[in-house]
Amino acid sequence: MLIQAGIPTDLHHYSAAFHVAHAIPGTAIDARMNTDRMNAIRRLLHTPNPPA
């Protein structure tokens, strides 16, 4: 629905990850999800005109 509404949206698929896989510290999936999350936040904060 977000994409259809024109809201900038990232969609990431983490193959073989289970729900809350990022909650297990020190795993590769935790690191990857956290990196992706932080990159999204950085992009949002550096957007000159964030969507209303």
End-to-end alpha carbon distance in the chain:
16
Q: How confident is the model at residue 51 (pLDDT cuts 50, 70, 90)?
A: low
- Does residue 5 surpass a pLDDT of 80? yes
What's the whole-model pTM score? 0.67
pLDDT of 7: 86
pLDDT digits 0-9 by tens, 19-49: 888 888 899 999 999 999 999 888 888 866 6
Phi-psi region of 20 (alpha: psi -120 to 50; beta: other; left: phi over 0): left
Q: Locate tokens 């690191």: which residue? A: 31
Q: Locate tokens 């964030």: which residue? A: 50
- What is the b/e burial string over 15-27, where b = at least 16 CB atoms within 10 angstroms of the residue's CB? eeeeeeebeeeee
pLDDT of 47: 65
